Amino acid sequence: MKVMVVDDDPGSLMVAKAVVEQAGYECLSATNGDAAWDLFQRHQPQVVVTDWMMPGLNGLELCRAIRSGEEDTYTYLVLLTSFGSKDDVLAGMDAGADDYVTKPLDPFTLRTRLLVARRVTALHAQLGRYRQELAKQARTDPLTNLDNRLKLAEDLELLHNRSLRHGTRYSLALCDVDYFKSFNDVQGHPAGDQALKAVADTLTLLSRDTDGIYRYGGEEFLLILPDQGEGDARAIVERIRAGIKALAIGHAGNPEHVLTISAGISTFAPDHAVGSGQLLKEADDALYSAKAAGRNRITSFVRVG
């Protein structure tokens, strides 16, 4: 555990540092609030033991600054104070402190506060890991382990705004497994699930590390292809289309007798700066054209006018 001690009184600072180090914790120290804030931002200690009255930021201001910057982390704050009134204690807690210790500093009292701090910060770290895992699960398709539509919406918004800002291109490719209903009807849903996993694995294997791959719904998958115009995007998707056909997954309901995909491509460019929703619609229209033309093929959206 990393503990930062802040005090402008050399004697009190020395006692606090000794308690922290004797307890086996890593100790950082500062003699004023401004230096403490800089040290905190660089090292992110789990515990801060800070004096109330000191140069620069005072203890209350330091507590508020630390609390205002927290998102997925939690810092245990102990306020050292010569004030013992109930109003002072409440003011410290209201500023974000978890506990307080009155001066002159008693080593035993501080040691007990550090034990509590270790337990509380460990619990918050565990909760943080749970939150991260839940956030990941909320954005992951459970069958294919690809990102889902929630993650797609987030990623597409970021890329679209970046492309608008910098005038760069990107493409979308909406892919659909051909005749998938008949595949499920004949071979059963377990086989259909395995086929979708195989398609997802091939999409991952044959796309670039910078591409985004998403389960769009049912047997549909969407690719985000950053910095790719229509021609480059088509080359990537053609490699994927051929790779999926080469899996040779038997499909009696497909004229090709194996599992295939169709895909529609749309492209954002400075001279076609449509919204991301419109771009998705264009990819869907292009996919419809590919399927209407016989499936197992790629069609790009054609702008009119």
- Side-chain half-sphere CA neighbours of 69 within 13 A: 13
Q: What is the pLDDT of residue 256?
A: 94
pLDDT of 125: 85
Strand partners of residue 5: 29, 49
The reply to whether 71 belongs to the active site is: no
Helix (H) or strand (E) holding 216: strand 212-217
Average confidence (pLDDT) per 10 residues, the chain, 305 residues:
94 91 94 93 94 90 90 88 76 88 89 92 86 84 95 96 95 97 93 96 95 96 96 96 97 95 96 94 96 96 74
> What is the distance between the alpha carbons of residues 99 and 92, in angstroms, rounded to a whole number?
8
Give whole-number Cα distances, 298 to 106, 132, 198, 199, 278, in Å.
Answer: 75, 37, 20, 16, 19
- Domains, the chain, in order of start with CATH, read 2-138 (3.40.50.2300), 149-300 (3.30.70.270)
Cα four-point dihedral sign 160, 277, 136, 262: negative
Q: What is the pLDDT of residue 136?
A: 81
Please identify which of the residues 71, 219, 220, 230 carries the catalytic annotation.
219
According to the model, what pLDDT value does residue 305 have?
A: 55
